[in-house]
Amino acid sequence: MHPILKVENLSHRYASSWAIREINFEINDAGVIGLLGSNGAGKSTTMNIICGTLLQTEGNVSINGLSMKDDPIAYKKQIGFLPQQAPVYLDFTVQEYLEYAAQLRLMDKRMIKGAVDEVLEKTSITQMRNRLIKNLSGGFRQRVGIAQAIINKPKVVVLDEPTNGLDPNQIIEARKLIKEIAKDHAVLLSSHVLSEINLLAREIVMIEAGQVIFSDTLDVFNNILQPNTMVARMLNMPDVDELLAIEDVQKVELLPDHRCRIYFQPNDDLAERIIRKSLEKNWRLTSINMESSGMDDVFKQLSSSSTLQ
């Protein structure tokens, strides 16, 4: 049985410089696979080759055994792509644009109306179908971009920084949508933000300087990294057991000056829940700040780790 997506010895050179060199990974099931790396690491080159918008110098990419080189049209029918800037036409209505996107993917004309209705509902924008895209907020434009990426029910959906530029509420909604899509599709999610990948992905491929420096599950990845921590200052510091009773809190370390370090499982709203609990219990919370490893530190850890692929 073929992997859903197989990337083999993928290399690409711009003039005399190699942008990526011998990239190898597979996606075997539906779900989110995080493509992680700093800016300029080679993520965009890899994604553009996978999506068929750039011809690689060496190597091969296939979906369910179907090679991009052998049959590019059939291959591209199996993939959906949302670039960092959603490729929407501002003077189209949402429905017009999605119909156009379906035609570009050579969908059977008899199937287009039903496909548009289905993705409008799936992305919760049915009520926007007759609105001009230029009149939509950034969050709704991003939903339209995701809708076009899945309209042909592709095997693989590639999302490049899908929450970039969105406000906090829009980010939460976009994450929910990505999780929903990942139930039926293999989603390759590109980001340089660790927390984004941590919240969504089950597996991670990390690229740095054009090479894969890590490819494994999220659990293995998190065992290599320093734990997620935040530091809170509370004038009426509660007992450690009270903090440990809060869901997702794993460990608490008391610090000088009414402060404590909280170790936790990745969670969108833990800080908000601590704030609410402080108000309820009169802990007099004065500050709460996230601590995280910088990307450079992560790359150093992974580059020196014996678990590298």
Tens digit of each residue's pLDDT (9 = 90 or more) over 273-297: 999 999 999 999 999 988 765 555 6
pLDDT score for 291 = 76
Nearest to 200 by CA among 7, 24, 35: 35
pLDDT bucket at 225, cuts 50 / 70 / 90: low
Q: Which residues contact 289 (CB under 8 A, 6 or more apart)?
A: 230, 231, 232
* 7 and 25 Cβ atoms separated by less than 8 Å: yes
* 36 and 204 Cβ atoms separated by less than 8 Å: yes
* 78 and 154 Cβ atoms separated by less than 8 Å: yes
Residue 284's region, left for phi above 0, alpha for psi from -120 to 50, else beta, is: left
Structure tokens at 165: 């530029």
pLDDT in tens, 76-124: 999 999 998 888 999 999 999 999 999 999 999 999 999 999 999 999 9
Structural domains for the chain: 5-224 (3.40.50.300), 229-292 (3.30.70)
* 255 and 261 Cβ atoms separated by less than 8 Å: yes
pLDDT bucket at 218, cuts 50 / 70 / 90: confident
Nearest to 229 by CA among 294, 301, 292: 292
Structure tokens at 230: 């935040």
DSSP 160-216: ESTTTT--HHHHHHHHHHHHHHTTTSEEEEEES-HHHHHHH-SEEEEEETTEEEEEE
Among 54-58, 98-102, 254-258, 294-298, name the one with the lowest average pLDDT: 294-298
Mean of per-residue pLDDT scores for the chain: 89
pLDDT bucket at 306, cuts 50 / 70 / 90: very low
pLDDT score for 194 = 76
Q: Which residues contact 116 (CB under 8 A, 6 or more apart)?
A: 95, 98, 99, 102, 129, 151
Mean pLDDT of the region 68-77: 91
With b for 16 or more beta-carbon neighbours within 10 A and e for fewer, the 187-224 pattern comes to bbbbbbebebbbbbbebbbbbbbbbbbbbbebeebbee
CA distance 6 to 210: 18
> Between 75 and 224, whose confidence is greater?
75
Mean pLDDT of the region 10-35: 93
Does pLDDT of 61 surpass 70? Answer: yes
Which range in 93-97, 164-168, 213-217 is most confidently predicted, on average pLDDT? 93-97
* 201 and 189 Cβ atoms separated by less than 8 Å: yes
